[in-house]
């Protein structure tokens, strides 16, 4: 998608990867940018507005676990922008000690945000179509034992997004879907992992985790925004160590139909 003149919504825009993605988006001639996040970063917001006076940038407080917050944020954005072309669901939490919150933020939040955005974007309902980008993880591509609950939630994001990208849905509503799966990235999310794992006891997986190379957040962001510009509906992309790889998802089952 050519981002010139587009209206973009970014959930989690003040997070580690989110900040870098917003900065990368603002390097394109986008028309407007809405940032949904739990806590405002007024200093950073003012800096972005000063550096990009031709882009309408605004922040809306959002607790992704609250459906009413999601509804209010999208309603305010639609009233201000008229429509939006791109939505990036980038809110996330990595802490398996907080079971319900991990599922609420990483999976239910993405689902509720996606379905709410579609109410405004669906061409069959008078919208203009567009693109929804859901950020999963490499932990959403295969089981990640050290973070079993986080991995389950992100696997749900991957599967949900792939299902939403069904060609019939795309032809009906005009909204494409892309799944982004970043590898380990140097942000605050991966700090203090010893207190965030599924189990409290020490494991060899934790020792291995501490040795895993981490990509820079700005490298991940650069590849993520580039993928928004170039990727097709249904793509599942792994963003790892500064490289982007399209993942070939195998078909494990096909229904047997009656004659």
pTM confidence score: 0.95
CA distance 82 to 235: 28
pLDDT at 229: 97
In a domain, 234, yes or no: yes
Q: How sure is the predictor about 187, in pLDDT bands with cuts at 50, 70 and 90?
A: confident
User: Which residue in 7, 100, 12 sits closest to 61, CA to CA?
Assistant: 12
Q: What percent of the chain has pLDDT over 70?
A: 100
At residue 186, does pLDDT exceed 80? yes
In a domain, 196, yes or no: yes
Give the end-to-end CA distance of the chain in Å, rounded to a whole number. 41
In a domain, 247, yes or no: no
Residue 150 is among the residues annotated as catalytic for this protein: yes
Q: Identify the weakest region by mean pLDDT among 40-54, 173-187, 195-209.
A: 195-209
Q: Identify the weakest region by mean pLDDT among 95-99, 161-165, 207-211.
A: 207-211
Q: Domain count of the chain?
A: 1
| Higher pLDDT, residue 76 or 200 | 76
Contact 96, 197 (CB under 8 A): yes
Contact 97, 52 (CB under 8 A): no
Per 3-state DSSP, the chain is made up of helix, strand and coil in percentages (nearest 5) of 45, 20, 35
The CATH number for 168's domain is 3.40.50.720
In a domain, 133, yes or no: yes
Q: Which residues contact 136 (CB under 8 A, 6 or more apart)?
A: 154, 155, 157, 158, 161, 179, 180, 181
In a domain, 257, yes or no: no
Residue with tokens 């993928």: 227
Tell me the mean pLDDT in the region 82-101. Answer: 97
In a domain, 2, yes or no: no
Catalytic pick from 10, 59, 120, 150?
Answer: 150
Tell me the mean pLDDT in the region 156-175. Answer: 98
At residue 191, does pLDDT exceed 90? no
Q: How far is CA 125 from the centre of its chain?
A: 24
In a domain, 246, yes or no: no
What the block records as the tokens of 17 is 């990867």
State the pairing for strand pair 243-246/236-240. antiparallel
Q: How far is CA 195 from the centre of its chain?
A: 24
In a domain, 101, yes or no: yes
Range of the domain at 203: 7-241
CA distance 111 to 212: 30
Tell me the mean pLDDT in the region 214-233. Answer: 94
pLDDT at 31: 99
Tell me the mean pLDDT in the region 73-85. Answer: 98
At residue 190, does pLDDT exceed 80? no
């Amino acid at each position: 998608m050519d981002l010139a003149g587009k209206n973009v919504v970014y959930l989690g825009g003040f997070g580690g990867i989110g900040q870098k993605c917003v900065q990368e988006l603002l390097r394109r001639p986008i028309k407007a940018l809405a940032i949904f996040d739990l806590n405002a970063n007024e200093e950073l917001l003012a800096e972005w507005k000063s550096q990009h006076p031709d882009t309408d940038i605004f922040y809306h407080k959002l607790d992704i676990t609250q459906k009413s917050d999601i509804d209010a944020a999208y309603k305010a954005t639609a009233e201000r922008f008229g429509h939006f072309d791109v939505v990036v669901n980038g809110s996330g939490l990595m802490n398996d000690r907080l079971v319900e919150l991990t599922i609420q933020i990483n999976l239910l939040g993405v689902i509720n945000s996606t379905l709410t955005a579609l109410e405004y974007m669906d061409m069959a309902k008078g919208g203009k179509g567009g693109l929804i980008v859901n950020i999963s993880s490499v932990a959403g591509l295969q089981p990640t034992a050290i973070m079993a609950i986080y991995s389950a939630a992100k696997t749900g994001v991957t599967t949900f997004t792939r299902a939403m990208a069904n060609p019939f849905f795309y032809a009906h509503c005009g909204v494409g879907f892309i799944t982004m799966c970043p590898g380990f990235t140097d942000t605050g999310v991966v700090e203090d992992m010893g207190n965030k794992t599924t189990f409290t006891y020490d494991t060899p997986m934790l020792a291995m985790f501490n040795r895993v190379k981490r990509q820079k957040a700005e490298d991940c962001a650069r590849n993520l925004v580039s993928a928004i510009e170039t990727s097709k509906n249904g793509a599942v992309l792994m963003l790892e160590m500064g490289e982007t790889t399209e993942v070939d998802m195998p078909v494990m089952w096909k229904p047997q139909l009656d004659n």
